[in-house]
């Protein structure tokens, strides 16, 4: 671990750099709400992304040769903190879809030198967006039941089948897909992980409209789609270990509030006072709601303290661990409950769909509440996380569960 | 577990090996079966004094080792796992804390070394009614010149039958319910007009009910300025709450370990019951609750050691979240063990009973949820 004094020096260096490089025009940009896409962003946005990428600070812990900065976890944390401090943001992770959070770390671990050189720099610079072809209509929680086939035709794999819940597939340049390469092998033994470009004849995407009205997910159809053989990640028919690792990275990325959430958000209790009012002694006018809000705030604090504790125990080295399942479930519970409480406190104003009778805050709360229902389903449902905890952490025997 | 210093690791290891070898839960059971009124076995207590645990919070000038609250918490947690009974918490943790935060130099010099060597047991007397409510203190302290005359009663005083001294929360001004007007006095157990009666509680530990019938004390027994103890009392109680949080973590994690072991060994329908998904998920939920509770419990002790300005919040969080976990865990300890869990011969009941007492001490979960909300201003 870096000595504290070195870290202080690094901090002032970063702070100075961020302040002089972050364009003030981007201060009002809301990374969460404005979900940036390659076409929609401004020149300033691109310049800021480029400046960060030139330093390797979009993916600070990645090796320099692949577009990172080769920094330690504590140093990366300093960068995150200093960026947040001035109301700036790191646009690179969201611009790459699943690139920074999941695909990149998995390539770093399983990729050949050629694959790293080919794929990582595009992710590190925030220019190449990735989606993941994992779930299928008949392979959700039971992912290993997937049936999309990939046949070796000599220099490429030819893919046929359908993926679902591929986030951002319609705007992604690349896809990481799990496919069946040996139909005769046991369920988990005949799977491989391949990477393929989305811009080709054999790939078609269709948006799925969700209950929130948004369409962040797609169905993706492979009809004789091509994946180059050099883009097989990990060994042939060993894709299950790649995907298990990938999913660990996914859980890890879902254990804390997304970086995109604005840190200056009004605290829940203040929002509640605004809508519900207070009694003479200063307590919230609805005592039942008050207690449920305080429980949620306590749960949020307990979650944060657990994240810090696990980091402290790992001596500053953030590792992907089984504890991620505990954290994913607790994060989900805190966020979903908070969304319910927000709607409840808004009362008649918390049921709006559109129109000027409702404030932007109110309409956003409704959409966020609906979107949030996905948290306990994606990335391994709450029940799958409990399977993982009981089996991998507690060592309880397996029955029908195939976590 | 928090990242520990080398010294803390040593003490924790010492506590683990001593408690499991010398003060296992079977010792506690034997003490209970004897009907021991003091609620602890003398040899267990003197061994703790011998090991220096009574000096963990006390500065070196008073004979202690000054290792801080997290360190003490580690010991309390290990003792909690075995339900090891002693006045360690009441005297060397709460009593010492009260003296350190509120005592005069003379009082510290007179009592702290004796707390450390075990010759005095100093305990806090705060609650008067069925609910923990320090502001509702009614025990009256009437000033007469440089004397104060104490009249009233106290209940659920920890180690009250074996205590040599009580630190008494009394009202010098105002009405019960007002936060202002409270004073702290240190009163010897043999003071004229002070009587005590044992309270037999379900956890078989030592508690007393105290009656003050015109007990005369002097200014020299007053801890801090008269009528202004409200704030320091809060600080003392918060440290006590964090200590209870540590013990609750111990009781709860032992209950979890017993339950997990049973899930892996008990067979029904031809399979170990832990292979049933309903129980696997319940275990997973309990484990998650335990991990979150541990973070809160340890953070409170760390905040105290760091003298941060959010000690009050952290301690209420600890008491509420660890309390919630222990409540659920102790019920599941019985439920998952089924019939055997209902028998007195099995240890589960001992843990359940201790759990409920710990939950109620210094404010239960609902007390601390309300307090946490007030601290956040709503």
Average pLDDT, chain B: 97
Beta pairing class for B182-188 and B207-218? unpaired
> Is residue A143 domain-resident?
yes
User: What is the model's pLDDT at position B37?
Assistant: 82
Domain boundary among A95, A111, A140: A95
User: What is the model's pLDDT at position A225?
Assistant: 98
Asked if the C-beta of A266 comes within 8 angstroms of chain B's C-beta atoms, the answer is: no
* Average pLDDT of the segment spanning A117-133: 96
Q: Which domain holds residue A367?
A: 266-393
User: What is the model's pLDDT at position A318?
Assistant: 53
Beta pairing class for B122-125 and B165-171? parallel
Asked if the C-beta of A170 comes within 8 angstroms of chain B's C-beta atoms, the answer is: no
Residue A259 banded pLDDT, cuts 50, 70, 90: very low
User: What is the model's pLDDT at position A73?
Assistant: 87
- Is residue B126 within a helix (H) or strand (E), and if so which, with residue range? none
CB nearest B376 (choices: A297, A391, A400)? A297
Phi and psi, residue A239, nearest 5°? -65, -25
Buried b (16+ CB within 10 A) or exposed e, B203-214: bbbbbbbbebee
Number of domains in chain A: 3
Closest Cα to residue A218, out of A228, A208, A209? A208
Residue, of A8 and A162, whose pLDDT is higher: A162
Closest Cα to residue A218, out of A137, A159, A295? A137
Angstroms from A309 CA to nearest CA on chain B: 6
- Is residue A65 within a helix (H) or strand (E), and if so which, with residue range? none
pLDDT tens profile B333-372: 999 999 999 999 999 999 999 999 999 999 999 999 999 9
Angstroms from A13 CA to nearest CA on chain B: 28
Judging contacts by C-beta atoms under 8 Å, the chain B residues touching residue A381 are none
Looking at the fold, whether A375 and A271 belong to one and the same domain comes out as yes
CATH number of the domain encompassing residue A61: 1.10.540
* Average pLDDT of the segment spanning A345-360: 97
Asked if the C-beta of A396 comes within 8 angstroms of chain B's C-beta atoms, the answer is: yes
Looking at the fold, whether A70 and A148 belong to one and the same domain comes out as no
Which residue ranges does chain B devote to CATH 1.20.140.10?
Answer: 231-375
* Average pLDDT of the segment spanning A296-315: 90
* Average pLDDT of the segment spanning B37-56: 95
Per DSSP, what are the bridge partners of residue A162?
A: A221
Judging contacts by C-beta atoms under 8 Å, the chain A residues touching residue B317 are 298, 301-302
User: What is the model's pLDDT at position A319?
Assistant: 56
User: What is the model's pLDDT at position A261?
Assistant: 44
Average pLDDT, chain A: 90
* Average pLDDT of the segment spanning B265-275: 95
10 Å CB burial of residue B239 (0-12, 13-18, 19+) is buried
Which residue ranges does chain B devote to CATH 1.10.540.10?
Answer: 6-120
Contact B292/A303 with Cβ under 8 angstroms? yes
Residue of B258, B276, B281, B293 best to disrupt the A interface, most CBs of A under 10 A:
B281
CB nearest A283 (choices: B283, B366, B373)? B373
Residue A262 banded pLDDT, cuts 50, 70, 90: very low
Is residue A258 pLDDT above 50, yes or no?
A: no
| Homologous superfamily of B231-375 | Butyryl-CoA Dehydrogenase, subunit A, domain 3 (1.20.140.10)
Beta pairing class for B271-272 and B194-199? unpaired
> Is residue A116 domain-resident?
no
Is residue A141 pLDDT above 80, yes or no?
A: yes
Angstroms from A400 CA to nearest CA on chain B: 8
Judging contacts by C-beta atoms under 8 Å, the chain B residues touching residue A303 are 292
Judging contacts by C-beta atoms under 8 Å, the chain A residues touching residue B281 are 383, 386-387, 390
Q: How many CB pairs under 8 A join A and B?
A: 125
Closest residue in A to B366 (Cα) is A291
> Is residue A190 domain-resident?
yes
- d(Cα B334, Cα B322) in Å, to the nearest integer? 18
> Is residue A251 domain-resident?
no
User: What is the model's pLDDT at position A192?
Assistant: 97
Asked if the C-beta of A401 comes within 8 angstroms of chain B's C-beta atoms, the answer is: yes
- Is residue A14 within a helix (H) or strand (E), and if so which, with residue range? helix A4-21
Taking CB atoms and an 8 Å limit, are A303 and B263 in contact across chains? Answer: no
Q: Which residues of A are catalytic?
A: 250
Contact B184/B223 with Cβ under 8 angstroms? yes
Taking CB atoms and an 8 Å limit, are B320 and A298 in contact across chains? Answer: yes
Distances from the Cα of A123 to the Cα of A249, A320, B30, angstroms: 16, 20, 66
User: What is the model's pLDDT at position B35?
Assistant: 87
> Is residue A249 domain-resident?
no
What 3-state class would DSSP assign to A139? Answer: strand
Asked if the C-beta of A308 comes within 8 angstroms of chain B's C-beta atoms, the answer is: yes
User: What is the model's pLDDT at position B217?
Assistant: 97
Looking at the fold, whether A165 and A228 belong to one and the same domain comes out as yes
Taking CB atoms and an 8 Å limit, are A291 and B274 in contact across chains? Answer: no
User: Within chain B, where are the H helices?
Assistant: 6-22, 25-34, 42-50, 69-82, 96-102, 105-116, 230-265, 277-305, 311-337, 348-360, 365-375
Residues making up chain B, counted from first to last: 378
Closest residue in A to B374 (Cα) is A283
Looking at the fold, whether A155 and A224 belong to one and the same domain comes out as yes
CATH number of the domain encompassing residue A164: 2.40.110.10
Asked if the C-beta of A292 comes within 8 angstroms of chain B's C-beta atoms, the answer is: no
Which residue ranges does chain B devote to CATH 2.40.110.10?
Answer: 123-228
Looking at the fold, whether A298 and A377 belong to one and the same domain comes out as yes
Distances from the Cα of A273 to the Cα of A284, A286, B71, angstroms: 6, 10, 40
Beta-strand ranges (E) seen in B179-260 are 182-188, 194-199, 207-218, 222-223
The ipTM assigned to this model is 0.94
* Percent of chain A clearing pLDDT 70 (strictly above): 93
Taking CB atoms and an 8 Å limit, are B281 and A385 in contact across chains? Answer: no
Angstroms from B236 CA to nearest CA on chain A: 22
Looking at the fold, whether A234 and A283 belong to one and the same domain comes out as no
> Is residue A187 domain-resident?
yes
- d(Cα B137, Cα B23) in Å, to the nearest integer? 37
Taking CB atoms and an 8 Å limit, are A390 and B281 in contact across chains? Answer: yes
Looking at the fold, whether A69 and A186 belong to one and the same domain comes out as no
| Homologous superfamily of B6-120 | Acyl-CoA dehydrogenase/oxidase, N-terminal domain (1.10.540.10)
Asked if the C-beta of A33 comes within 8 angstroms of chain B's C-beta atoms, the answer is: no
Contact B285/B320 with Cβ under 8 angstroms? no
Contact B246/B297 with Cβ under 8 angstroms? yes
Looking at the fold, whether A274 and A384 belong to one and the same domain comes out as yes
* Average pLDDT of the segment spanning B49-58: 98
Buried b (16+ CB within 10 A) or exposed e, B289-301: bbbbbbbbbbbbb
User: What is the model's pLDDT at position B1?
Assistant: 66
Buried b (16+ CB within 10 A) or exposed e, B38-76: bbbbeebbebbbeebbbbbbbeeebbbbebbbbbbbbbb
> How many CB atoms neighbour CB B156 within 10 A?
21
Residues 310-349 of A with CB under 8 A from B: 312-313, 315, 323, 326, 329-330
Angstroms from A382 CA to nearest CA on chain B: 10
Judging contacts by C-beta atoms under 8 Å, the chain B residues touching residue A278 are 378
> Is residue A136 domain-resident?
yes
pLDDT tens profile B221-252: 999 999 999 999 999 999 999 999 999 999 99
Q: For chain B, what is the total number of helices (H) and then of strands (E)?
A: 11, 10
User: What is the model's pLDDT at position A233?
Assistant: 97
Asked if the C-beta of A302 comes within 8 angstroms of chain B's C-beta atoms, the answer is: yes
* Average pLDDT of the segment spanning A21-36: 77
CATH number of the domain encompassing residue A291: 1.20.140.10
> Is residue A122 domain-resident?
no
Judging contacts by C-beta atoms under 8 Å, the chain B residues touching residue A291 are 366, 369-370, 373
CATH of domain B123-228: 2.40.110.10
Taking CB atoms and an 8 Å limit, are A397 and B281 in contact across chains? Answer: no
Looking at the fold, whether A212 and A292 belong to one and the same domain comes out as no
Judging contacts by C-beta atoms under 8 Å, the chain A residues touching residue B372 are 294, 297-298
Judging contacts by C-beta atoms under 8 Å, the chain B residues touching residue A256 are none
């Amino acid at each position: 671990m870096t000595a504290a004094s070195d870290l202080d020096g690094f901090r002032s260096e970063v702070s100075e750099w961020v302040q002089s490089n972050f364009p003030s025009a981007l201060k009002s940009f809301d990374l969460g709400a404005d979900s940036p896409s390659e076409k929609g962003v401004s020149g300033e946005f691109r310049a800021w992304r480029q400046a960060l990428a030139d330093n390797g600070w979009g993916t600070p812990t990645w090796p320099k040769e692949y577009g990172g900065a080769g920094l330690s976890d504590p140093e990366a944390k300093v960068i995150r903190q200093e960026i947040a401090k001035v109301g700036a943001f790191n646009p690179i992770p969201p611009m790459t879809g699943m690139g920074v959070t999941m695909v990149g770390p998995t390539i770093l671990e399983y990729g050949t030198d050629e694959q790293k050189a080919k794929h990582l720099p595009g992710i590190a610079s925030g220019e190449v967006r990735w989606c993941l072809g994992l779930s299928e209509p008949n392979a959700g929680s039971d992912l290993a039941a997937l049936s999309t086939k990939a046949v070796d035709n000599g220099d490429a794999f030819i893919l046929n089948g359908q993926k679902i819940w591929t986030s951002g597939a319609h705007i992604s340049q690349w896809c990481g897909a799990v496919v069946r390469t040996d139909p005769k092998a046991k369920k988990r033994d005949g799977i491989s992980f391949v990477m393929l470009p989305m811009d080709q004849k054999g790939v078609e995407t269709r948006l799925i409209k969700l209950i929130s009205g948004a369409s962040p997910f797609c169905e993706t159809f492979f009809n004789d789609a091509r994946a180059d053989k050099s883009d097989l990640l990990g060994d042939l028919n060993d894709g299950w270990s790649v995907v298990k690792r990938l999913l660990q990275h996914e859980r890890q990325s879902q254990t804390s509030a997304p970086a995109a959430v604005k840190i200056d958000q009004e605290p829940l209790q203040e929002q509640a006072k605004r809508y519900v009012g207070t009694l003479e002694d200063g307590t919230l006018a609805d005592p039942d709601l008050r207690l449920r809000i305080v429980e949620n705030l306590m749960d949020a604090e307990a979650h944060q303290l657990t994240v810090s504790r696990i980091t402290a125990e790992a001596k500053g080295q953030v590792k992907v661990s089984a504890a991620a399942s505990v954290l994913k479930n607790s994060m989900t519970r805190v966020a979903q409950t908070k969304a319910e409480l927000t709607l409840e406190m808004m009362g008649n104003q918390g049921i709006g769909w559109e129109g000027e009778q409702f404030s932007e805050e109110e309409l956003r709360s409704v959409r966020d509440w609906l979107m949030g229902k996905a948290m306990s389903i994606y990335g391994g449902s709450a029940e799958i996380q409990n399977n993982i905890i009981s089996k991998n952490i507690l060592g309880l025997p397996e029955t029908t569960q195939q976590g | 577990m928090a990242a520990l210093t080398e010294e803390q690791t040593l003490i924790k290891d010492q506590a683990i090996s001593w408690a499991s070898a010398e003060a296992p839960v079977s010792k506690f059971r034997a003490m209970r079966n004897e009907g021991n009124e003091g609620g602890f076995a003398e040899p267990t207590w003197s061994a703790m004094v011998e090991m220096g645990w009574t000096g963990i919070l006390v500065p070196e000038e008073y004979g202690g080792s000054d290792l801080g609250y997290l360190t003490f918490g580690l010991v309390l947690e290990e003792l909690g796992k075995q339900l090891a009974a002693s006045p360690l918490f009441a005297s060397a943790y709460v009593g010492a804390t009260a003296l350190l935060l509120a005592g005069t130099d003379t009082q510290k010099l007179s009592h702290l070394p004796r707390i450390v060597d075990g010759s005095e047991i100093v305990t806090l007397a705060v609650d008067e009614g069925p609910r923990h409510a320090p502001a509702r203190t009614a025990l009256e302290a009437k000033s007469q010149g440089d004397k104060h005359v104490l009249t009233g009663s106290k209940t659920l005083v920890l180690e009250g039958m074996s205590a040599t001294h009580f630190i008494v929360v009394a009202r010098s001004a105002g009405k019960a319910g007002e936060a202002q007007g409270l004073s702290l006095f240190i009163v010897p157990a043999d003071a004229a007009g002070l009587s005590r009666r044992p309270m037999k509680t379900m956890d078989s530990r030592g508690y007393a009910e105290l009656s003050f019938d015109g007990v005369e004390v002097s200014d020299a027994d007053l801890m801090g300025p008269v009528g202004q103890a409200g704030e320091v009392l809060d600080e003392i109680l918060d440290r006590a709450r964090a200590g209870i949080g540590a013990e609750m973590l111990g009781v709860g994690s032992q209950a979890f370990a017993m339950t997990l072991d049973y899930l892996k060994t008990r067979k029904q329908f031809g399979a170990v019951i832990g292979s049933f998904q309903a129980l696997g998920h319940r275990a997973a939920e309990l484990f998650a609750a335990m991990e979150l509770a541990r973070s809160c419990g340890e953070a409170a002790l760390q905040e105290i050691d760091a003298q941060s300005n959010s000690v009050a919040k952290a301690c209420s969080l600890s008491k509420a979240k660890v309390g919630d976990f222990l409540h659920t865990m102790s019920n599941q300890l019985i439920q998952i063990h089924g019939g055997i869990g209902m028998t007195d011969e099995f240890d589960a009941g001992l843990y359940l009973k201790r759990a409920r007492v710990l939950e109620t001490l210094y404010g239960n979960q609902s007390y601390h949820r309300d307090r946490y909300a007030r601290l956040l201003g709503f």
